[in-house]
Amino acid sequence: MGIALPEPKGHQRDVVSLKAEGHCVVLGTAGSGKTTMAVHRAHYLAKAPEIGGQTLLVTFNKALITYLRGISVVSPSLRIETYHRFARGYLNNRQPPVRIYKDKEQAVQRSLDALRANGSRRAVLDRPIEFFMDELHWMVGHGVTDRGSYVEDVTPRIGRGQPLQQSDREIVFEIYRDYLRQRAEAGYRYDWDDIASIVLRSLKEDSTNRRYRHIVVDEGQDFTPEMIRSLAAAIPENGSLTFFGDYAQQIYGSRMSWRSLRLTVREIARFAHNYRNSRQVAHLAQAMSAMPHFRDGVDLVEPTGFDADGPKPTVVKVADHDRQLGEAARQARALGSDRQVAVLTRTRDHEARLRSLLLSEGVSPWRLHRDLSRWPQGPGVFYGTYSSAKGLEFDSVILPLCDRATLPKPSEVLAHGQAEAAARESRQLYVAVTRARTELVLLHSSKLTTLLPDEMSDLYVRVDR
């Protein structure tokens, strides 16, 4: 038996039956039911008489795909998959099998090492490899891959708090160009970042009938502009693209117009009522989104109402940093007997130890990751990263390692500076916090991260262990 799909409430029902031609945008705060609306919208478009047809429900998170398949009634007219699966499938039907170049970081490092060895004294070359990987990801994801647009354009690099100087962009572009050379010499045409641009270019030249009449995008804030443009190009003139998103959950704001994404949007549907989080959890999330490092002009929807009440989030100070995961495992065991609990960390570095600790507590946990084959029903304990839980919800969420020394991640601070790292990492933490329906437990050992409101705030209950 599948997981019950929640019924849409109030104005959510209107979104399900929005026009079936053109572009529709639905923005909502965390917990406003965007995924519920997306699934119902996809089923409606797949089955509606006369206007219905083959429909694609696409998202970015593979664990979320497993969940969506679990709550969806099987329909031959509806397909649910990740963007990259859609892209590879389309290209494989147009040309020889797509081979993805997977040594990008090593190739970029070689380019960087060569420039350093040649005696260039630009300070940007002292940045870590993570900075250059992120910059190349931004360039390709936004379709800014020619020298004129990236190096010479006076428009600031959207999404970066501190723009690079033109001479530094020249260095980055040289690294990008050398990376393309290395990739071509290895016999590859694509990597995961630029596959969307290849799909977009191919669709512009493709006069055959489109496979899908309708496309529904869930968690759309995670898609690069080129991904959105390619999906808009993948529908026929009598088809539709419906975009569901929450820009408070985006790692960094794109601040791009809908027109630049090739979307013609006359009106945006906005949902501010929070059906998921308790009032107390939602108030913490709202306080986080009001902090200075969170605001950067993206299209946010402020929550205005909540359905449930519950305990305040608990901040637990553990005496020893190394004991935080053990405390998280004990809390998960205590809570997981009659509800679904998630223990989430910023990175996968601690997953093996966390799993071992959960097993030692008598808990058989489910790992949130790309190979999760089915979504379990009933009570249980899950573990994974903040990003692996995007789009999902749990009765209780436990977040260990919320120390100032670990959030923002030191590698993010080194690559991007304190201010931008805080802007990016605060969105990751926001995602994790808003996965909790009722109970939220935050663990730390030293000072609480500055990405959260002050520990002495009345938003929390404080406990020492």
| Selection from 27, 25, 23 nearest residue 264 by Cα | 23
Residue 28 labeled ligand binder: yes
- Alpha carbon separation from 86 to 54, 60, 192, 193, 342 (Å, rounded): 14, 11, 12, 14, 29
Q: How many whole angstroms from its chain centre is CA 410?
A: 20
**Structure tokens, 391:** 């789009």
How far is the C-alpha of 443 from the C-alpha of 463, rounded, in Å?
Answer: 10
35 is in an annotated binding site: yes
Helices (H) and strands (E) in the chain, counts: 15, 15
SS3 185: helix
Confirm or deny that 33 is annotated as ligand binding: yes
Residue 277's nearest CA partner among 303, 254, 297 is 303
CA distances from residue 416 to 106, 121, 128, 391 in whole angstroms, order as listed: 20, 19, 9, 27
| DSSP of 255-298 | ---TGGGT---S-EEEE-EEEEEEHHHHHHHHHHHTSGGG-SS-
Does 384 appear as a known binding residue?
Answer: no
34 is in an annotated binding site: yes
Q: Cα–Cα distance between 267 and 174 in angstroms, integer?
A: 41
Is 288 buried (19+), middle (13-18) or exposed (0-12) by CB count in 10 A?
A: buried
CA distances from 399 to 8, 314, 435 (A): 30, 10, 11
30 is known to lie in a ligand binding site? yes
| Max Cα-Cα span within the chain | 67
| Residues 227, 214: Cα–Cα separation, whole Å | 16
Please give the annotated binding residues, written as ranges. Answer: 28-35
Question: Residues within the annotated binding site for ATP?
Answer: 28-35
